[in-house]
Chains A and B, each alone.
Chain A
Amino acid sequence: MNTSLENWEAQMRRGWLEVAILATLWPGRLYGLEIIRALATNSDLVIAEGTIYPVLARLLKSGLVSAEWVESLSGHPRKYYKLTAVGRKTTLILAKDSNEFLRKMLALVEPLLRENNR
Chain B
Amino acid sequence: MSPNGHVAPNSVDAYSLRLRAALRGLPDSEVEEILREIRGHILERQEGEGDSERLLKILRELGSPEDIGALYRTEALVARARTTFSPALIFGSAARVATKSLIGFLSLLLGLFGYVAAAGFLWCAGTKPFLPDRIGLWRSQYRFSMGIIPPSEHAQELLGWWIIPVGLILGITVIVVTTALLRWMLRYALPPPAARFMRVK
Where the two chains meet, the residues of A that have a C-beta atom closer than 8 Å to any C-beta of B are 11, 14-15, 18-19, 22, 32-33, 48-51, 53-54, 57-59, 61-64, 74-79, 90, 93-94, 97
Chain B residue nearest to A54 in the complex (CB): B71
Q: Closest residue of chain A to B34, judged by CB?
A: A53
Q: Is B27 an interface residue (CB 8 A)?
A: no
CB-contact partner of A77 in B40, B192, B198, under 8 A? B40
- Please list 10 pairs of residues, one from A and one from B, whose beta carbons are closer than 8 Å in the complex, sorted by A's number: A15-B191, A48-B63, A50-B63, A50-B68, A50-B71, A53-B37, A90-B195, A90-B197, A94-B197, A94-B198
Proximity string of chain B (59-78) to chain A, C-beta cutoff 8 Å, 1 when within and 0 when not: 00111000110011001000
Residue contact A53 to B38, C-beta cutoff 8 Å? yes
CA distance A18 to B37 in the complex (A): 19
Query: Does A48 lie within 8 Å of B72, measured CB to CB?
Result: no
B47: A residues at CB distance < 8 A: 74
Q: Is the CB of B72 within 8 A of A57?
A: yes
Interface-central residue, A33, A57, A62, A74, by most chain B CB under 10 Å: A57
Instruction: Kindly name the residue among A51, A54, A74 whose own CB sees the greatest number of chain B CB atoms within 10 A.
Output: A54
Pair B41/A22 contact, Cβ less than 8 Å: no
Q: Is the CB of B45 within 8 A of A58?
A: no
Q: How far is the CB of B77 from chain A (nearest CB, A)?
A: 12
Q: Which residue of B lies closest to A100 (CB)?
A: B201
Contact A49 B40 (CB under 8 A): no
Q: Which residues of B contact A78 (CB under 8 A)?
A: 40, 44
Across the interface, B62 reaches (CB within 8 A) one of A19, A49, A97, namely A49
Instruction: Provide the residues of chain A in CB contact with B41, threshold 8 Å.
Output: 32-33, 49, 53
